[in-house]
Every structure is written in C-alpha cells, then in structure tokens.
C-alpha cells in the first residue's frame, strides 16, 4: 500500500470518524477511509469467518509439520 501524507486539517477531520467516503472537488467518489481500529477489526472478523474453531482444532491435532528452524533451513537452501 502506498502512503499518502495528509495535512493537519485533513488529519483532524479523519481523527473524529471510523469511516468516511473520500470525494474529489466535483463530488466524485475516489475511495474510502477506515480508521486503524476499524480496519483491524474488519480484517480480524474476515479472518475468523474463513475457518471455524473446530477446523483449527482439527488441524492442530494432526501429526506432522515442521519447526521454524526447519522452515528457515529449507528457505536458505532455495
């Protein structure tokens, strides 16, 4: 994601909202702003919706896998 630096007046406007629609001078929509807290909550909720707790537990109980050290060693070989 490319950062865009905003001036103090825009920062002040954005601090007081969780989400806002951004428009150009003619009123045409150019994007959406989500506060850091709302963005994190949406990403977390999306991730939780992708897999159930039961499936996570089933996968945790499966034998196999490898340690982080083994993963690093394999990556260094490639």
Handedness of CA 49, 55, 61, 65 (dihedral sign): negative
Please tell me the total count of domains within the chain: 1
Give the C-alpha separation, 43 to 70, whole Å: 30
Instruction: Give pLDDT, residue 54.
Output: 93
Give the C-alpha separation, 71 to 48, whole Å: 25
pLDDT in tens, 25-78: 999 999 999 999 999 999 999 998 999 999 989 988 999 888 999 999 999 998
The domain in which residue 16 lies consists of 8-77
Give the C-alpha separation, 46 to 50, whole Å: 7
Domain-located, residue 51: yes
Instruction: Give pLDDT, residue 6.
Output: 92
pTM: 0.59
Domain-located, residue 52: yes
Domain-located, residue 45: yes
């Amino acid at each position: 994601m490319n950062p865009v630096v905003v001036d103090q007046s825009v920062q002040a406007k954005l601090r007081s909202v969780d989400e806002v629609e951004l428009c150009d001078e003619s009123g045409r929509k150019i994007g959406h702003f989500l506060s850091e807290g709302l963005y994190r909550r949406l990403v977390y909720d999306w991730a939780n919706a992708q897999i159930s707790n039961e499936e996570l537990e089933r996968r945790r109980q499966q034998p196999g896998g490898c340690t982080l050290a083994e993963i690093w060693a394999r990556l260094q070989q490639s």
